[in-house]
Amino acid sequence: MIKKIDHIAIAVQNLESALETFRNILGCAPEAITIEEVPSEKVRIAFIPIGETKIELLQPISDDSPISKFLQKNGDGMHHIALETDDMQKETSRIATLNLTTLGSPKKGAGGKSIVFLHPKETNRVLVEFTEHQS
C-alpha cells in the first residue's frame, strides 16, 4: 500500500547554502538534519523533517551523477516526489499491471531503504520514487 508522501526532493548545486535556506524557511533546528552520501546515486543528501514528511536536498558528488545531468539541463529545482510503501514488491507488481515502467529494479537508497523510480514520461513528467518503509 502507498502510505504517504515520504519526501519531496530538490536538486541543488550547493547543499550547504540550500540547507540554510530551507532550514530557515521551515524553522528547523540544525540537529534535526541528517546529511549522508549515497554512492549508488553519486549524491550527497540532506533531509529536513517537516511533520510526517521531509524535504530532501540532493547535490551531485560527481559529474556522471544523474543529478549533475538534471542540473545541467534545468538548474536547481524540484526533482522528485517519493511515496512511502510498506511492500515494495507488491507495489512494483501493481505498477506493472498498469503498464507503467520502473527505471530498473529496486535498489538501496538513502538510509539503506529500498527505492525505485517510475518512468517520468508515463507520470506527467513528474519523477515518482517509491521508498519502502517496513513497519
User: CB of residue 99 vs Co ion: minimum separation in angstroms?
Assistant: 24
Contact call for residues 67 and 37 (beta carbons, < 8 A): no
Q: Which helix (H) or strand (E) holds 34?
A: strand 34-38
Candidates 1-9, 13-21, 24-32, 65-73: pick the segment binding Co ion (CB under 5 A).
Answer: 1-9
Residue 116 found at the interface with Co ion (CB under 5 A): no
Among 10, 48, 82, 95, indicate the residue that binds Co ion (CB under 5 A): 82
Nearer to Co ion, 80 or 99 (CB): 80
Among 9, 18, 19, 127, indicate the residue that binds Co ion (CB under 5 A): 9
Contact call for residues 15 and 35 (beta carbons, < 8 A): yes
User: CB of residue 45 vs Co ion: minimum separation in angstroms?
Assistant: 8
As given in the structure block, the three cell numbers for residue 116 are 525505485
Contact call for residues 117 and 127 (beta carbons, < 8 A): yes
User: CB of residue 1 vs Co ion: minimum separation in angstroms?
Assistant: 19
What is the C-alpha to C-alpha distance for residues 63 and 95, in angstroms, rounded to an integer? Answer: 31
Candidates 60-68, 74-82, 83-91, 118-126: pick the segment binding Co ion (CB under 5 A).
Answer: 74-82
What is the C-alpha to C-alpha distance for residues 39 and 42, in angstroms, rounded to an integer? Answer: 5
User: CB of residue 82 vs Co ion: minimum separation in angstroms?
Assistant: 4
What does the radius of gyration of the chain's CA atoms come to, in whole angstroms? 15
Which residues form the interface with Co ion (CB under 5 A)?
9, 82, 129
